[in-house]
Amino acid sequence: MNFELISVSANSRARAGVLTTGHGTIETAVFMPVGTAGTVKGVHTRDLKDDVKAQIILGNTYHLYLRPGMDVIEKAGGLHKFNGWDKPILTDSGGYQVFSLGDIRKLSELAAKFQSHIDGSYHQFTPEGVIDIQRTIGADIMMAFDECTPGDADYNYAKKSMELTHRWLDRCFEQFNKTEPKYGYQQSIFPIVQGSTYPDLRRLAVAQVKTFDADGYAIGGLSVGEKEDVMYEITEVVTADLPVHKPRYLMGVGTPENILESIDRGIDMFDCVMPSRNGRNGMLFTRDGKINIRNKKWENDHSPIDENGTSFVDSYSKAYLRHLVISNEMLGAQIATQHNLAFYLWLVKTARQKIIEGVFSSWKNEMINRLKHRL
Partner RNA sequence: GGGAAGUUUCCAGAGUGGCUAAAUGGGGCAGACUGUAAAUCUGUUGGCGACGCCUUCGGUGGUUCGAAUCCAUCACUUCCCA
Q: Could you list the residues that contact RNA (CB under 7 A)?
A: 34-36, 40-41, 58, 60, 63, 92-93, 95-97, 99-101, 103-104, 117, 143, 146, 148-149, 192, 218, 220-221, 223-224, 228, 251-255, 258, 271-274, 276-278, 280-283, 292, 294-297, 299, 326, 328, 330, 333, 374
Query: How wide is the angle at C-alpha 264 spanned by C-alphas 222 and 348, nearest 5°?
Result: 90
Closest CB to RNA among residues 117, 123: 117
Q: Comparing C-alpha atoms, which of 126, 109, 214, 87 is closest to residue 160?
A: 109
Give how far Cα 9 sits from Cα of 110, 121, 173, 250, Å. Answer: 43, 50, 33, 19
Determine whether 268 is an active site residue: no
SS3 content of the chain, % helix, strand, coil (to 5): 45, 20, 35
Residue 191 CB, shortest distance to RNA, in Å, is 10
Indicate the residue among 8 and 37 with the shorter CB distance to RNA.
37
DSSP-H helix ranges across 69-125: 70-76, 79-83, 95-100
Which residues pair with residue 123 across a beta bridge?
114
Cα three-residue angle 116-121-123, rounded to 5 degrees = 75
Residue 47 or residue 271: which is nearer to RNA going by CB?
271
Q: Which is nearer to RNA, 133 or 180 (CB)?
A: 133
The three-class DSSP label of residue 89 is strand
Considering the complex, state which of residue 136 and residue 276 has its C-beta at the smaller distance from RNA.
276
Phi-psi region of 326 (alpha: psi -120 to 50; beta: other; left: phi over 0): alpha
Taking the complex as a whole, the smallest distance from the CB of residue 123 to RNA amounts, in Å, to: 13
Active site residue 92: yes
State in angstroms the smallest separation of the CB of 32 from RNA: 9
**Pairing of β 141-143 and β 105-107:** unpaired
What whole-number distance in Å separates Cα of residue 147 and Cα of residue 50? 36
- As measured in angstroms, the least distance from the Cβ of 339 to RNA is 14
Q: How far is the CB of 358 from RNA (least distance, A)?
A: 28
* C-alpha to C-alpha distance for 362 and 365, rounded to whole angstroms: 5
As a whole number of Å, the end-to-end CA separation of the chain is: 42
User: At 157, is the secondary structure helix, strand, or coil?
Assistant: helix
Catalytic one of 92, 215, 306, 314: 92
- Looking at the Cβ atoms of 97 and 311, the one nearer to RNA is 97
Query: Smaller CB distance to RNA: residue 8 or 44?
Result: 44
Quote the least distance from Cβ 17 to RNA, whole Å.
20
Q: Among the options 215, 264, 268, 271, which is catalytic?
A: 271
Q: In angstroms, give the least distance from the CB of 44 to RNA.
A: 14
Bond into 243 cis (ω within 30) = no
Sort 137 into a burial class: Cβ within 10 Å, 0-12 / 13-18 / 19+: buried
C-alpha dihedral sign at 93, 99, 103, 105: positive
Residue 57 DSSP symbol: E
**So which residues are the catalytic ones?**
92, 271
